[in-house]
Amino acid sequence: MLDPVSRALHRNAGQHGPVMLMYHAVQPGKGTPDWPWAVSMQRFREQLDFLATEGYATPTMEELVDAPAKKWNGRTAVITFDDGYVDNLAACEELQKRGMRATWFIVSGSVGQSPRWPADGRPGDRLLNSAELCEMRENGMEIGSHTVSHARLPDADDERLMRELSESKASLESMLGHPVSSFAYPYGAWDERCANAVKQAGYAASCTTRTGWALRDKDPYRLRRLTVFNTDTLGSFARKLYFGSHDVAWRDIAGYALRRLRRV
């Protein structure tokens, strides 16, 4: 149930343009997962139902970038998933039940296998395989790239940087039989050199983990996203949609209200 303050704040959500939401894993049940970047299935369903009830459009990232900005004057939330864990299949089914779409950023070098990058508490199961990714795309989901190896791109030399970008794109396109135009920076790590390389590799857009309204910077290679964490309640989720920020704890809301009063 949504608390009255969050509901009141959210009435004015959507005035600053689209938001992008970043998920990773969606775990069965209703508990709080240990990994900060995982959410329970119960909370994921509640969040999708809230978006649907509140009239949010849920285009893919490709659709967001391709359409004129004025098309997204209403409430819009681009739902994205990083890495491509196999538990995302159940999340995809929930999206399909509600007529929603999302964008998945896939680590091409680990498709159908256990992740090969260093573990940090993430799910230990395999990533989505090629057949699953093809079916998801056929059902209206977008498949984007997240490099070959989940590399921290600012640390890569020029040769490796381009290889991570180009080989991932080529591999996914061959697998899907469809162009791959969207990219997400692993770890949210990027700089101007990386953004230029993403463009040079043939992607149309890339997203970061910087908070704020998705199109705030008016640059398709630095789209902003809001992370959905394991501890997010429906209230904090609604407040993120309104503020376009992670700073939505009650102490943050109190500080915001106090600053508004001082301006009066």
The full 3-state SS of 212-246, as one line of letters, equals CCCCCCCCCCCECCEECCCCCCHHHHHHHHHHCCC
- pLDDT band at 72; cut points 50, 70, 90: confident
CATH number at residue 181: 3.20.20.370
Range of the domain at 198: 4-263
pTM of the model: 0.96
Q: State both tokens at 245.
A: 């920020």
CA distances from 158 to 144, 163, 202, 206 (A): 22, 9, 16, 18
Out of 114-128, 171-185, 211-225, which region has the weakest mean confidence (pLDDT)?
114-128
The answer, yes or no, to whether residue 222 has pLDDT greater than 70, is yes
Query: Residues 111, 126: contact at Cβ < 8 Å?
Result: no
168, 164, 95, 138 alpha-carbon torsion, rounded to 10°: -10
Q: Please give the structure tokens belonging to residue 155.
A: 């640390």
Of the pLDDT bands very low, low, confident and very high (cuts 50, 70, 90), residue 70 is low
Q: Calculate mean pLDDT across residues 249-256.
A: 89
Q: What is the mean pLDDT of residues 11-39?
A: 96
How confident is the model at residue 3, as a pLDDT?
94
What domain count does the chain have? Answer: 1
CB-CB contact of 116 with 89 (8 Å): no
Nearest to residue 61, comparing CAs of 74, 72, 51? 72
- Please name the amino acid found at residue 115: P
